[in-house]
Amino acid sequence: MVVDKKRLEIILSKAPRFPSPRKDLEQYPTSSRVASYLLWTAYLKNDIEGLVVADLGCGTGVLSLGALMMGARDVICVDIDCSALQIAKEWIASHDFSNFEVLCSDVNMVNLRNIDTVIMNPPFGVYRRGMDILFLKKALELASRSVYSIHKFNVESHNLILKIADDQNFDVELLAVDYMEIPQIYEDHVKRVHRFKIALYRFRKRVR
Ligand code: SAH
């Protein structure tokens, strides 16, 4: 019994904020609209229900809770920021889920078995160049079935993503190109809202 897309979006719109967002960790929450689109799509493609899902760089837990609401068997929430993870833990538990675990770790140190699907909105790799690609490589290493991920969208990074996926034996589906707006939360952003293009990707492991 899963929730419909509108209801999912409403619930996810109440995700806790990062109390003091860390620029070095690129802590930008996913909008509930994008999150519910990603989760609903993954659900329709049979990549969530009854499966073990990992949320890498889960922050305050918006994608993790969404995956549980879409029927994931277990969710593993990973973040390097233990205080964000504590917020995620409390928020998810307040929705009466207990089939999740939190893991406070640098994603590059994580070694998990039995993950079917990875869902993530990783750092965009703007502040720490290449972090988006490190997350993607780790996700493709962990997932035995599929990966859903959000990346900044430009030709250069799109081509790099295609190459990495191919090297790791995954097919790539570009699900949507959208805009993301980041409110001015860091002192050196000039505009009040920073708007940039993002792409939602699905990576599906090839059957050999
Ligand atoms: N997925 C969340 C948060 C996105 S912001 C959401 O959709 O709202 C990116 C997240 O990645 C932050 O929570 C940040 O703490 C985490 N992060 C950054 N570097 C990390 C690393 N090396 N290992 C694990 N998590 C990391």
Strands, sheet with 170-183, edge to edge from the N-terminal-most edge strand: 100-104, 74-79, 52-56, 117-120, 146-152, 193-205, 170-183
Count the Cβ atoms, other than its own, within 10 Å of residue 35. 24
Contact by Cβ (8 Å): 174, 148? no
pLDDT of residue 2: 80
Map tokens 């904020």 to a residue.
Answer: 17
Closest residue to atom 7 of ligand 1, CA basis? 30
Closest residue to atom 3 of ligand 1, CA basis? 59
pLDDT of residue 184: 61
The Cα 121–Cα 62 span in angstroms is 10
pLDDT of residue 190: 57
Domains recognised in the chain with CATH numbers: 26-205 (3.40.50.150)
The Cα 176–Cα 174 span in angstroms is 6
Map tokens 């917020």 to a residue.
Answer: 87
Residues in contact with ligand 1 (CB, 6 Å cut-off): 25-30, 57-59, 62-63, 78-81, 84, 106-107, 121-123
Low-confidence ranges of the chain (pLDDT < 50): none
Closest residue to atom 18 of ligand 1, CA basis? 25
Tens of pLDDT, residue by residue over 48-88, are 999 999 999 999 999 999 999 999 999 999 999 999 999 99
pLDDT of residue 188: 59
Question: Residue 7 contacts by C-beta under 8 Å, 6 or more apart in sequence?
Answer: none
- Residue 55 CA, closest ligand 1 atom number: 1
pLDDT of residue 183: 66
The Cα 147–Cα 138 span in angstroms is 10
pLDDT of residue 207: 86
